[in-house]
Each structure stands twice: as structure tokens, then as C-alpha cells.
Amino acid sequence: MSIHASAVIAAGARVPESCTVGPFCTIGPEVALGENCTLISHVVLDGRTRIGARNTFHPFSAVGVAPQDLKYGGEPTEAIIGDDNTIRESVTISRGTVGGGGVTRLGSNCLLMACVHIGHDSQVGSHCILANAATLAGHVVIEDYATVGAFSPVHQHCTVGKYAFIGGGTIVTQDVLPFSLTSSRRENKAFGINKIGLARRGFSAERLQVLQKAFRLLLAAKMNTSQALGKIKELEGEDVALLTAFLERSERGVIK
């Protein structure tokens, strides 16, 4: 096992022999690491934190730390991390709170760039990218394959839909439509589908065409959301079904 002499690993922590723990890292007693994880240096892993395989933690990242919630009283809540994530410098991931379900989750194959914050009880899917200083307040949901741009804060209880792309510097206070390209100029707007990103993910021309029809009804037609939803339901395909289900369950409203 490769553990630097200056690292502090508490009794009870589970660290497989395949892991590398660099200088000045601290691992708490209830942390369980998966195989082949790398802690480069000055990493803090705390609380009831379960971490999958092949994750890389860069300097000054802090995972499983106590939530930034004044109601938190030291309850035994958790943080759960999947496999193959890259967690860059100064990223913070808080564990959950009792009132929010008790668990903060990060899926697999995600890139969290420098200074990202994932607040308590947030649920981040797999294959997501959170750019530099993207910040998630508590109880945020980021669905699979979504990208949150640099310096973009996401308000509590907001959901960012699957395959969405949020431009840098966008203040998100409502749900972000799946498949959408959403950004801020003078005000937050959805500018249609994330066509380039979806094509890179293997979406066919036919799937993109159906999604474009749906988004024209939602964003460009002179209809309210309920009227547009009725028209969108007349289209066919699993992507349209995902979009309509998202609209129907949104509690904060969506950015249009």
C-alpha cells in the first residue's frame, strides 16, 4: 500500500492496498474507499462516506464533510460516490442531512473541476461535468450527462434535466429542461436543444429533429407551458416522453 508518512488514516477507515494516499491527506474512521483510488495530496475524506473504484482526488478537495446547514446537529448522515470520477482542486462535497433524506450522491464518470461545491442532499448523476466554481445548493438534482458551466450557482430544490448544458455564469433558480442549451445574457433563457452535445452522445438526426419540434412548441410557439405540453405529447419517441415527464413533475417551473 502506498501511503505517505504524513497522511493520517483513522482506525476503522477502509483503504484497499491498491489505493495511493499522498502527503497530508486525512481519512476519517467511517470512510470506505474502493479499489485503485488516488488521493494526490491534502485531501480530506470525512463522515460516513462510501467511495467506489478508480476515483482521483486532487489537492485540497474535501468530501463527506459536515453540511453547511445550521440545523445539522451531527447526525450520522452519508455521502456516496460512484466509480471513475475526477475530483479536482478545492472541490467540496457535503454529506446529507436528516431533513433532506440523509445522503448526498455523486454517480460515476463525472468531472468536477476546481472549486465546485455539491451541497447537502444533492443527487448528481453519472457522466456529468461541473465546470470551475459551479455551486449546487442543498437538495439539487443533476441528471445524467448534464453539464453545469463555470461560476453557475443552482438554487435549492432545482433539477437540471438529462443532457442539459448550462452556460457559464448562469444563475439557476428554476428547473433546467432536459436536452436544452440554457444560458444567461440579460436574463436566463433556454435557446433550444443542446444539438452539438447531443450529437456527440450519439443522438441520430431523426432524434434531434423530433426534439427540435418539441422545443419549438415549448419555446417559440405562442402557447403557455400547459398548451405546449399537450401538443408535445402528440409527438413520438422516448426523448419526448422524458421531456414531458420532466415538465409534469417540475415544482419550481422551468426556464424557457
Residue range 99-150, pLDDT digits in tens:
999 999 999 999 999 999 999 999 999 999 999 999 999 999 999 999 999 9
- pLDDT value at residue 187: 66
For residue 1, pLDDT beyond 80? no
For residue 220, pLDDT beyond 90? no
- Active-site hit among 120, 149, 167, 175: 120
For residue 244, pLDDT beyond 70? yes
Query: Would you say the pTM of this structure is higher than 0.85?
Result: yes
Q: Catalytic residue at 237?
A: no
pLDDT digits (tens, 9 = 90+) for 151-191: 999 999 999 999 999 999 999 999 999 999 999 865 677 88
Question: How would you classify the pairing of strands 86-87 and 38-39?
Answer: unpaired
pLDDT digits (tens, 9 = 90+) for 43-91: 999 999 999 999 999 999 999 999 999 999 999 999 999 999 999 999 9
Which residues make beta-bridge pairs with 9?
27
- Active-site hit among 34, 138, 161, 192: 138
Calpha distance 216→241 (Å, rounded): 16
Calpha distance 197→105 (Å, rounded): 24
Say how far residue 129 (Cα) sits from the centre of its chain.
7
List the CATH code of the domain at 198-249. Answer: 1.20.1180.10
- Active-site hit among 46, 121, 175, 239: 121
Q: Catalytic residue at 46?
A: no
Calpha distance 163→201 (Å, rounded): 9
Q: Catalytic residue at 12?
A: no
Residue 186, class by beta-carbon neighbours within 10 Å (0-12 exposed, 13-18 middle, 19+ buried)?
exposed
Q: Which residues 6+ apart lie within 8 Å of 49 measured at CB? A: 28, 30, 31, 32, 63, 64, 78, 79, 80, 81, 95
Delimiting residues of CATH 2.160.10.10 domain(s) in the chain: 2-142
Delimiting residues of CATH 1.20.1180.10 domain(s) in the chain: 198-249
Fold of 2-142: UDP N-Acetylglucosamine Acyltransferase; domain 1 (2.160.10)
Measured in degrees and rounded to the nearest 5, phi and psi for residue 95 equal -75, 170
